[in-house]
C-alpha cells in the first residue's frame, strides 16, 4: 500500500526532515512504494502540486521540492500502485481547485465491478475532471460532490461539514463495494485539505497523528511557542497537527488512529474527532 504525510501549522514550517532527512521519512519509505510520489503545499491560500511516477528517493525533483517547501499546509504521498498504471495522472495528491486529496488503500475489482456505479455518485459537472484511472481519484470526486451540498467548493467549509462529507463518502463506497476488511483488501485511509481545514480518515490502513512534542527544538526562537506545543492541549486548540502512515523519529508524540475514526482541524487550529459509532461530529476532544 501507499504512505501518507499531512501537516498543518500556525506558522510556515520546513518539512524536509519529515519527507527526506529522518530515518523513516516519507521518501525513505518509498523504497517499498516505488510507483510515484506527489507533494502539495499551499502559498497564499493556493495549492502547488508536484507529482511524478518516478521512485521518490532516487528522484532529484522530490529532493528539490522537499528542500524548498516551507508552508503552513503540506500533503505528501508515495505510491505503491494497485489501480491504474504508473503515470503522472495516477499519482497522488489529486487536486480540484483549492482541495487536494491522497489515499492509502485499494478498492479491489474497481474497474471490473465498481467504477461505473461509483461514477454515478460524482456530480455530472465534475466527472470530466477525472483524468486518471485510479479508484482514489474517483473517491476524491465523490467527496467533492458530497461537500458541494454544503456550499460552493471555492468557498471555505466548516470542518464539521468536511468531516460529514468524507464520512458520507466512505459510507457510499462501503455500500457499493462492501465494508473495509482485511480479507477483502478494501482500505480507505485518506487525507483531504483545502489548505486551512484538514481531515484524515483511518480506513483500515494505519495512520498516526501528533499535536505536540516532548520538547520543541525551536522553543527559544519560535514566536508562536505555547504550552500545547509540548503537552496535550487542554482547550482543543493546537499549534500543529501531523498525520503520517508511520511514526516519524524525533520529538513528536504519536497517537494511533482507530479504524473508522476521523480527525480534523479547522481554520482556528481547533482539533475535532469523530469516533466510529458516534453520530455527532461536533464533539471536541482534547488533543
pLDDT in tens, 163-220: 999 999 999 999 998 776 554 678 899 999 999 999 999 999 999 999 998 987 778 7
Nearest of 188, 169, 196 to residue 259 by alpha carbon = 188
How confident is the model at residue 8, as a pLDDT?
Answer: 94
- Model pTM above 0.85: yes
pLDDT digit of tens for each residue in the chain (287 aa)?
568 889 999 988 776 455 644 444 554 554 444 567 888 999 899 999 988 887 555 556 666 666 667 789 999 888 655 665 678 899 989 999 999 999 998 888 888 889 999 999 999 999 999 999 999 999 999 999 999 999 999 999 999 999 999 999 999 999 998 776 554 678 899 999 999 999 999 999 999 999 998 987 778 778 788 888 889 999 999 999 999 998 888 888 999 999 999 999 999 999 999 988 665 554 444 55
What Å distances lie between residue 246 and 4, 5, 66, 82, 186, CA to CA? Answer: 8, 9, 18, 20, 20
- Measure CA of the first residue to CA of the last residue in the chain; give whole Å: 28
Q: Which cell numbers hold the place of 130?
A: 477525472
Measured in residues, the chain has a length of: 287
Domains annotated on the chain, with CATH: 3-274 (3.60.20.10)
User: What pLDDT, on the 0 to 100 scale, is given for residue 281?
Assistant: 52
Please give the pLDDT value at position 201. Answer: 98
Amino acid at each position: 500500500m501507499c504512505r501518507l504525510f499531512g501537516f498543518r501549522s500556525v506558522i510556515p514550517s520546513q518539512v524536509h526532515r519529515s519527507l527526506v532527512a529522518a530515518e523513516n521519512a516519507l521518501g525513505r519509505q518509498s523504497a517499498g512504494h516505488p510507483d510515484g510520489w506527489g507533494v502539495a503545499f499551499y502559498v497564499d491560500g493556493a495549492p502547488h502540486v508536484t507529482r511524478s511516477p518516478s521512485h521518490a528517493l532516487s528522484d532529484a525533483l522530490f529532493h528539490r521540492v522537499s528542500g524548498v517547501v516551507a508552508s503552513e499546509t503540506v500533503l505528501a504521498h508515495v505510491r505503491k500502485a494497485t489501480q491504474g498504471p504508473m503515470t503522472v495522472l495516477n499519482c497522488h495528491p489529486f487536486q480540484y481547485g483549492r482541495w487536494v486529496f491522497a489515499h492509502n488503500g485499494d478498492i479491489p475489482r474497481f474497474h471490473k465491478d465498481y467504477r461505473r456505479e461509483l461514477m454515478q455518485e460524482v456530480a455530472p459537472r465534475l466527472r470530466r475532471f477525472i483524468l486518471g484511472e485510479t479508484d482514489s481519484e474517483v473517491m476524491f470526486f465523490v467527496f467533492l460532490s458530497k461537500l458541494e451540498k454544503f456550499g460552493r467548493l471555492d468557498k471555505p467549509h466548516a470542518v464539521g461539514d468536511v468531516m460529514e462529507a468524507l464520512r458520507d463518502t466512505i459510507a457510499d463506497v462501503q455500500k457499493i463495494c462492501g465494508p473495509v476488511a482485511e480479507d477483502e483488501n478494501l482500505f480507505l485511509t485518506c487525507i483531504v485539505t483545502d489548505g486551512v481545514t484538514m481531515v484524515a480518515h483511518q480506513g483500515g490502513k494505519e495512520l498516526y497523528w501528533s499535536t505536540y512534542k516532548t520538547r520543541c527544538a525551536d522553543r527559544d526562537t519560535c514566536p508562536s511557542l505555547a504550552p500545547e506545543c509540548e503537552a496535550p492541549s487542554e482547550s482543543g486548540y493546537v499549534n500543529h497537527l501531523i498525520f503520517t502512515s508511520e511514526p516519524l523519529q524525533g520529538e513528536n508524540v504519536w497517537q494511533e488512529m482507530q479504524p473508522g475514526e476521523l480527525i480534523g482541524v479547522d481554520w482556528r487550529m481547533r482539533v475535532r474527532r469523530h469516533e466510529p459509532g458516534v453520530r455527532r461530529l461536533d464533539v471536541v476532544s482534547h488533543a
